[in-house]
Amino acid sequence: EPEVTQTPSHQVTQMGQEVILRCVPISNHLYFYWYRQILGQKVEFLVSFYNNEISEKSEIFDDQFSVERPDGSNFTLKIRSTKLEDSAMYFCASRPGREDYEQYFGPGTRLTVT
């Protein structure tokens, strides 16, 4: 069964450094998402991406964040200058074109900012 993959599974970085989290969505999906989950808290929406552009973003998704689909298969989340509070699990998700389908989540990347 096709699945969403994410790399790396765990990333440790120093405050102020740039990080890129990578995702490979399921190949025929059209909608792509990033969510984050601070340890012990709920899953929060960051951004959705469709037709090569951002379709919606949350208040969390400020100028420090950017997304890209550089080559038609990868979907990346970049944090330009990480802060301690960016430490969280980051989930990528994708969905087919049909409205009534669920989002398929990747296994997550745990980002630790020291």
Partner 1 sequence: AQKVTQAQTEISVVEKEDVTLDCVYETRDTTYYLFWYKQPPSGELVFLIRRNSFDEQNEISGRYSWNFQKSTSSFNFTITASQVVDSAVYFCALRTGANSKLTFGKGITLSVRP
Applying CB under 8 A, the span of 12-20, 34-42, 63-71, 76-84 interacting with partner 1 comes to: 34-42
- In the range 65-84, which residues lie near partner 1 by CB under 8 A? none
Per the CB < 8 A criterion, the answer to whether 74 and 49 are in contact is no
Q: Which residues pair with 7 in a beta bridge?
A: 22
Taking CB under 8 A as the binding criterion, the range among 11-19, 20-28, 71-79, 93-101 that sits at the site for partner 1 is 93-101
Q: Do 5 and 25 touch, CB atoms closer than 8 A?
A: no
The nearer residue to partner 1, 32 or 82, going by C-beta atoms, is 32
Minimum distance of partner 1 from residue 71's CB (angstroms): 22
Contacts of 101 (CB under 8 A, 6+ apart): 95
